[in-house]
C-alpha cells in the first residue's frame, strides 16, 4: 500500500527518448549508417543499463552466430552459480562426449576432473567447445536438456528471433539469432559481475593437473585494442561469417554491440570499434540517484526510538541521454511506513523516476541506519516530555 508520496522535480540537459520498457528506440537517425560498419550483414548498439538502442542495421535478420551462442551457455552457468545450484568451486568430471568436441577447445581428457571455474574461464577466454559440453552436462545432465534451458531463457528475455540447437555454436541448420537478440542476451550476461573476472584475461595457461598445459589466448582482440573494452564473445564459421558481441565502458556509460556476418575478422573488430566510438561521442549516462547519498526526506517511523530515520536509494540510477539535448526528470518517493525496529539496508519504500513524464526506472529505498524499537522507558519519556509542554 502507498502511504506517502513525496514528489520532486528538476530539469536536466538530456535526450528526449523512450523509457526502458523492452522496446528499443533508435533516436531517429538513418538505419544502417554505412560509415559505422564495414563488411557486416547486421549490427546493433545499445546502452547496457537502459536497453535503449543507439544504432541498428538489419537487426532482426536471422542468421547463424557461431560461437556467440556461448553467451547463452555462460548465462545459464552463471545463473546456476547465482541461484546456488552449482558453485564455481565444484569439480566437473569430463565425459567422452565432452572431450570429443571438435573446433576450438582446451583438449580436456575424458574421465579427468576440473574445477567449474576453470571450465567457465576457458569458454570466456578461448571459446572452448569441450568445456561448454562439460558445463552443460554438469548443470542439466545432458547437452540436450541444457539446450532446452537455453531456449527457455531466450523466451524469458524476449528473444523472438533466436533458436539454439547446441551449446557450442558448431554448425547446425536449426540454430540462429539476430543482432538485436545477441545484444540483449549479452547485456544480460554481463549483469553477472563474475563474468568480468574472466573476460579481461588476455593470455593464460589452462592446467590439466598432470603437468600438461594448454595455452589460452583471448579471442576478443578489443580487450587489448579498444580503450574501455573489457568483455566480448567472438564467433566464426563459414556459414556465420565473423561475429562479435562486445562491451565497453567509459565514464559510467556501458555500451553493448553486436556485429554479425562480417566478411573478415578485422572488419568485425573495426565495426565494433566504430560503433563504440559513435556511442561514446554522442551519449552519456548521468547519475540521478546515488546509493551512497541519503535523500533529503526522512521517513516516518512508528514505535521506534526515533520518530523518523534517514533513507537512501538501494542502487544507483543513471539517466541515459544524448548529449546537449533536454529532458524533464521527476521523482515520486513512496514511504511504506514500516514499524520499528528497522535494520540498515532494509527496504522501506521506493522511488519512481520519470523521464519526460514516462516511468523510466523504479529503485528501492532502504534505511540508512539501524533504529531500535522504543522501550517502555522511551515511551514514558515521550509522554512526560509532552506533559512538560
Which residues are catalytically annotated?
Answer: 67, 70, 127
Classify burial at 109, counting beta carbons within 10 Å of its beta carbon; exposed 0-12, middle 13-18, buried 19 or more.
Answer: middle
Phi-psi domain of 277 (left: phi exceeds 0; alpha: psi -120 through 50; beta: other): alpha
What the block records as the C-alpha cell of 229 is: 573494452
User: Which residues have C-beta within 8 Å of that of residue 30, sequence separation ≥ 6?
Assistant: none
Between CA 15 and CA 278 the distance in angstroms is 16
HEC sequence for 64-80: CCHHHHHHHHHHHHHHH
Between CA 120 and CA 105 the distance in angstroms is 12
Does residue 341 have a cis bond before it (omega within 30 degrees)? yes
Return the closest-CA partner of residue 219 out of 238, 202, 198: 202
Q: How many CB atoms lie within 10 A of CB 350?
A: 17
Query: What SS3 state is found at 286?
Result: strand
What the block records as the C-alpha cell of 342 is: 528497522
Query: What SS3 state is found at 58?
Result: coil
Amino acid at each position: 500500500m502507498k502511504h506517502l508520496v513525496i514528489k520532486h522535480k528538476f530539469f536536466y540537459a538530456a535526450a528526449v527518448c523512450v523509457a526502458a520498457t523492452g522496446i528499443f528506440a533508435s533516436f531517429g537517425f538513418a538505419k544502417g549508417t554505412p560509415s559505422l560498419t564495414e563488411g557486416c550483414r547486421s549490427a546493433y548498439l545499445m546502452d547496457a543499463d537502459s536497453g535503449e538502442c543507439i544504432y541498428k542495421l538489419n537487426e532482426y535478420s536471422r542468421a547463424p552466430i557461431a560461437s556467440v551462442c556461448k553467451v547463452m551457455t555462460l548465462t545459464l552457468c552463471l545463473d546456476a552459480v547465482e541461484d546456488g545450484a552449482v558453485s564455481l568451486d565444484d569439480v566437473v568430471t569430463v565425459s567422452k562426449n565432452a572431450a570429443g568436441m571438435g573446433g576450438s577447445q582446451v583438449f580436456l581428457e575424458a574421465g579427468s576432473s576440473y574445477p567449474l571455474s576453470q571450465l567457465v574461464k576457458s569458454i570466456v577466454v578461448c571459446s572452448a567447445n569441450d568445456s561448454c559440453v562439460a558445463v552443460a552436462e554438469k548443470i542439466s545432465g545432458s547437452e540436450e536438456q541444457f539446450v532446452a534451458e537455453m531456449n527457455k531463457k531466450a523466451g524469458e528475455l524476449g528473444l523472438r528471433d533466436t533458436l539454439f540447437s547446441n551449446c557450442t555454436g558448431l554448425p547446425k541448420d536449426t540454430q540462429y539469432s539476430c543482432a538485436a537478440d545477441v545484444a540483449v542476451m549479452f547485456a544480460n550476461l554481463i549483469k553477472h559481475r563474475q563474468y568480468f573476472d574472466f573476460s579481461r584475461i588476455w593470455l593464460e595457461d589452462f592446467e590439466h593437473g598432470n603437468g600438461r598445459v594448454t595455452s589460452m589466448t583471448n579471442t576478443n582482440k578489443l580487450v587489448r585494442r579498444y580503450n574501455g573494452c573489457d568483455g566480448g564473445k567472438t564467433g566464426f564459421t563459414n556459414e556465420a561469417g565473423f561475429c562479435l558481441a562486445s562491451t565497453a565502458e567509459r565514464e559510467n556509460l556501458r555500451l553493448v554491440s553486436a556485429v554479425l556476418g562480417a566478411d573478415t575478422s578485422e572488419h568485425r573488430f573495426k565495426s565494433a570499434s566504430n560503433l563504440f566510438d559513435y556511442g561514446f561521442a554522442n551519449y552519456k549516462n548521468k547519475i540521478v540517484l546515488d546509493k551512497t547519498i541519503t535523500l533529503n526526506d526522512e521517513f516516518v517511523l512508528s514505535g521506534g526510538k526515533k520518530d523518523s530515520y534517514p533513507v537512501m536509494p538501494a542502487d544507483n540510477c543513471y539517466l541515459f541521454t544524448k548529449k546537449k539535448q533536454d529532458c524533464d526528470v521527476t521523482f515520486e518517493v513512496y514511504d511504506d511506513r514500516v514499524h520499528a525496529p528497522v535494520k540498515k539496508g532494509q527496504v522501506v519504500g521506493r522511488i519512481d523516476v520519470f523521464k519526460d513524464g514516462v516511468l523510466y526506472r523504479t529503485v528501492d529505498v532502504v534505511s540508512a541506519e539501524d533504529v531500535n524499537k522504543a522501550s517502555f522507558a522511551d515511551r514514558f519519556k515521550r509522554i512526560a516530555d509532552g506533559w512538560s509542554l
